[in-house]
Structure 1
Amino acid sequence: MRRNLDMTALRAFVTVAEGGGVTRAAGLLHLTQSAVSMQIRRLEEALGRKLFDRTGRALVLTADGDQLLAYGRRILALNDEVWSRFTDAAFEGEIVLGVPNDVVYPALPPVLQRFHAAFPRMKVTLVSSYTHRLKQMFARGDAQMILTTENAVDPGGETLVSLPLVWVGARAGQAWRQRPLRLAFETRNIFRGVVERALDAAGIPWEIAVTSEMSRTIEVSCAADLAVHALLEGTVP
């Protein structure tokens, strides 16, 4: 007897696999982490296959999981295309989406792919900048929707996901051992103050070694072991 795949469970699986974990997937799907985990278990039980290796701290796709991911992407894309074709024909036009530099990748590509599949007649113009500039654009009406990275959400906003900050430095580097600790931050990075206060509270001396308007400069400085930086978990390049 032929059986049908649970599309909700399949979407949860693909989102976890692409997002790198249950926490990020829960935010993207607007579900609790336990609900996402339950969907994954339901899919594994239905297929009789183990899709993730859970022996370590990170979720790693098994060979079966890797194969299902390729199928799942195609199935969901076709599902979203059919749904859009017969239910969302009225949605067309243009939307300007503002996204901070630090969350463009890896979270945004799969979201934009699904949006395009669901609303093929909608044109998305993507603007990447700092949170404070995006909020100014939104206030002027220059952007219809913005994502921001902030410590607290403004009135009218919605928290999609909460992520911790993690340290970033050169592979096998030594900059993190130096005192004062040498930091690299963009000029208007909203998390700079958070990091500085945390270091002060821990009694760790620090200094700003590199500052720039460009995120790429910060990445290069850290890769060269000149300083360390802090990024949202899951957004490390």
Structure 2
Amino acid sequence: MRNLDLTTLRSFVAVADAGGVTRAAGFLNLTQSAVSMQLKRLEDGLGLALLDRSGRGVALTPAGEQLLKYARRMVDLNDEIYARLTRQDWEGEIVLGVPHDIVYPVIPRIIKRMGRDMPRVRVQLISSYTAELKEQFARGAVDVILTTEADPAEGGEPLLDVPLRWYGAAGGSAWKSRPLRIAFSRRCGFRPVAAAMMEQHDIDWELAVDSESDRIIEVSVTADLAVTPVLEGHAPAHYDLIPRGVLPDLGVQKICLYGSAAKPQILAPVLEMLRAEFRALGTRGTEMAAQ
């Protein structure tokens, strides 16, 4: 009787989900060559080609598509059994704070993984601005926070550098108007950065919206009434990136991680999940920039 190797199935699922061996290696904390060897071992064991490597990226063959649903179920079941039977110390509650503009794509994956690997841990997710999250963290009201800031404060760990870019409505022309109309939330941490660059480059500008609602900001930009600064890759799908050179460069912001020293048994694996996800996100961004 032949048995499938769960390690190779896990690598196969990771490659299918990530869309490439390099990004999957980042998720798995393995080298690219190790993941490639596991995929070859799986293909050799089944006597089937699972990946179509003829194109620029990696695609699944018909056999690979058929295997994927079974492989995902087997890996998930394995992890659920392990978590429920062996990690009795993973029990409690975690309050996770994340700025609204970086919730996607990482946080849904983290929560899903925690539900699978740490079923006795309840996650309370809150979304707010960096300054408010740091205040709550200092009071002990939040266990783990992510922030977007130029540099982390004491105790913060930089995870990823992300360019701050100008965005406007799809096909819009608000970026051409003078005074330039800019939409900021009152508590947006990017507001002083953008304002300083406007002054430095002597660009006439005005506030298009004075609101604490991010939804109102989004509506104003979508209606081509204003432009707004957003972290590259984190803008709504209906925004257009304004080409470089048209407006002043806004530099780079860091996505930073702060974790409490309390609850080490359940916080330590969550912090590692976050580090791994953002490491993989950074690898994917580098690959896309190189294409």
TM-score, with structure 2 as normaliser: 0.63
Offset at residue 211 of structure 1 (A): 2.9
Offset at residue 233 of structure 1 (A): 2.1
Q: Contact 2:221 / 2:227 at 8 angstroms: preserved in 1?
A: yes
Task: Give the direction of change, closer, same or farther, for the CA distance of 1:62–1:14 in structure 2 (3 Å limit).
Answer: closer
Offset at residue 62 of structure 1 (A): 3.9
SS at match of 2:152: coil
Distance 1:202 1:70 in 2: 54
Offset at residue 145 of structure 1 (A): 1.1
C-alpha offsets along residues 201-222 of structure 1, whole Å, 9 cap, x if unaligned? 5554432212321111111111
SS at match of 2:171: coil
Distance 1:69 1:225 in 2: 43
Distance 1:43 1:207 in 2: 56
- Which is bigger in relative contact order (C-alpha 8 A, separation at least 6)? 2
How many equivalent residue pairs? 224
* 2:15 paired residue among 4, 13, 16: 13
SS at match of 1:162: strand
**2:156 matched residue in structure 1:** 157
Question: Which runs of structure 2 are paired with 1:1-237 in the superposition (5 Å)?
Answer: 4=5, 5-6=7-8, 9-10=11-12, 12-13=14-15, 16-17=18-19, 22=23, 29=27, 48=49, 49-50=51-52, 54=56, 62=59, 64=61, 67=65, 74-202=73-201, 204-237=203-236
Distance 1:39 1:231 in 2: 36
Distance 1:203 1:30 in 2: 48
Distance 1:52 1:183 in 2: 46
What is the alpha-carbon root mean square deviation over aligned residues? 3.5
Distance 1:127 1:149 in 2: 15
Q: Which moved more, 1:43-52 or 1:222-231?
A: 43-52
C-alpha offsets along residues 37-77 of structure 1, whole Å, 9 cap, x if unaligned? 667756766655247964xxxx7x74659947766654553
Task: Give the direction of change, closer, same or farther, for the CA distance of 1:134–1:70 in structure 2 (3 Å limit).
Answer: farther
SS at match of 1:159: strand
Distance 1:178 1:100 in 2: 30
Q: Contact 1:186 / 1:211 at 8 angstroms: preserved in 2?
A: yes
Larger strand share, 1 or 2: 2
Q: Contact 1:166 / 1:232 at 8 angstroms: preserved in 2?
A: yes
Distance 1:50 1:130 in 2: 43
Task: Give the direction of change, closer, same or farther, for the CA distance of 1:232–1:93 in structure 2 (3 Å limit).
Answer: same
The AA in structure 2 aligned to 1:81 is: E
Distance 2:202 2:37 in 1: 47
Return 5+ residue gaps in structure 1 as ranges: none
The AA in structure 2 aligned to 1:133 is: E
Offset at residue 114 of structure 1 (A): 0.5
C-alpha offsets along residues 73-93 of structure 1, whole Å, 9 cap, x if unaligned? 545533432331233221111
Distance 2:70 2:164 in 1: 33
Distance 1:73 1:113 in 2: 14
The AA in structure 1 aligned to 2:84 is: R
Distance 2:171 2:214 in 1: 21
Q: Contact 2:8 / 2:39 at 8 angstroms: preserved in 1?
A: no
Structure showing greater Rg: 2
Q: Which moved more, 1:202-211 or 1:85-94?
A: 202-211
Q: Contact 2:165 / 2:229 at 8 angstroms: preserved in 1?
A: yes
Distance 1:138 1:13 in 2: 36
Distance 2:88 2:215 in 1: 40
Offset at residue 115 of structure 1 (A): 1.3
How much identity, in percent, do the aligned residues show? Answer: 41
